[in-house]
């Protein structure tokens, strides 16, 4: 199963870009990142809707979609690893995590999701949420491999 992260915005050179590169390297070729940007100025609602269309355009039609949303389910790292293992057993070709922009995700993106995932009750900048997701994907990989990276 391939993992796809579809995200609004591009991380510029610096600490976040370095972390993103490090976790993508650790995760290996089974993870890809597709970044989209909506450059036209508009109202927040219009921008969010257009970002949603761009995000869905980069997600394969047969993918299992997991939108990151503040109203989503909160999982421990171990429970997240188990959920990933469950999806893997279902056999989809692609599991796509979708991260919206500063205004969040459009409703059509959330509705397309199999399960919305929350990174906790706190609000995170969308670019930092990407790094948190990458770290948790790596942590889940290590949990499933029984590696000591994750110590409970």
With residue 112 as reference, give the H or E element that holds it. Answer: helix 107-112
Query: Is the pLDDT confidence value at 28 over 80?
Result: yes
Quote the number of domains for the chain: 1
With residue 3 as reference, give the H or E element that holds it. Answer: strand 2-8
CATH of the domain at 17: 3.40.1280.10
CB atoms within 10 A of CB 132: 16
The phi and psi torsions of 118 (rounded to 5 degrees) equal -110, 140
pLDDT tens, residue by residue, 62-83:
999 999 999 999 999 999 999 9
* Secondary structure (DSSP) of 42-83: --HHHHHHHHHHHHHHTS-TT-EEEEEEEEEEE--HHHHHHH
Residue 16 within any structural domain of the chain: yes
Question: Between 7 and 149, where is the model more confident?
Answer: 7
- Domain with 9, as residue range(s), is 2-144
Residue 152: the pLDDT is: 57
Residue 88 within any structural domain of the chain: yes
Mean local confidence (pLDDT), 11-22: 95
Report the DSSP pairing between strands 117-118 and 94-99.
Answer: unpaired
Residue 150 within any structural domain of the chain: no
What does the DSSP 8-state code read for residue 85?
H
Mean local confidence (pLDDT), 11-15: 94
Mean local confidence (pLDDT), 22-33: 95
Residue 85: the pLDDT is: 97
Q: How far apart are alpha carbons 55 and 36 in whole angstroms? A: 7
pTM of the model: 0.94
Mean local confidence (pLDDT), 128-146: 96
Residue 69 within any structural domain of the chain: yes
């Amino acid at each position: 199963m391939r993992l796809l992260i579809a995200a609004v915005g591009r991380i510029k050179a610096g600490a976040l870009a370095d972390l993103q590169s490090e976790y993508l390297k650790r995760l290996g070729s089974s993870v890809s990142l597709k970044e989209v940007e909506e450059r036209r100025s508009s109202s927040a609602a219009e921008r969010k809707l257009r970002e949603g269309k761009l995000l869905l355009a980069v997600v394969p039609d047969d993918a299992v979609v997991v939108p990151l949303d503040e109203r989503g389910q909160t999982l421990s790292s171990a429970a997240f690893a188990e959920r990933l293992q469950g999806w893997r057993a279902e056999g989809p070709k692609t599991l796509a995590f979708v991260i919206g922009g500063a205004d969040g995700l459009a409703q059509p993106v959330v509705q397309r999701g199999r399960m919305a995932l929350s990174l906790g009750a706190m609000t995170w900048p969308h670019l930092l949420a990407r790094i948190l997701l990458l770290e948790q994907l790596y942590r889940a990989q290590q949990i499933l491999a029984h590696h000591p990276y994750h110590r409970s």
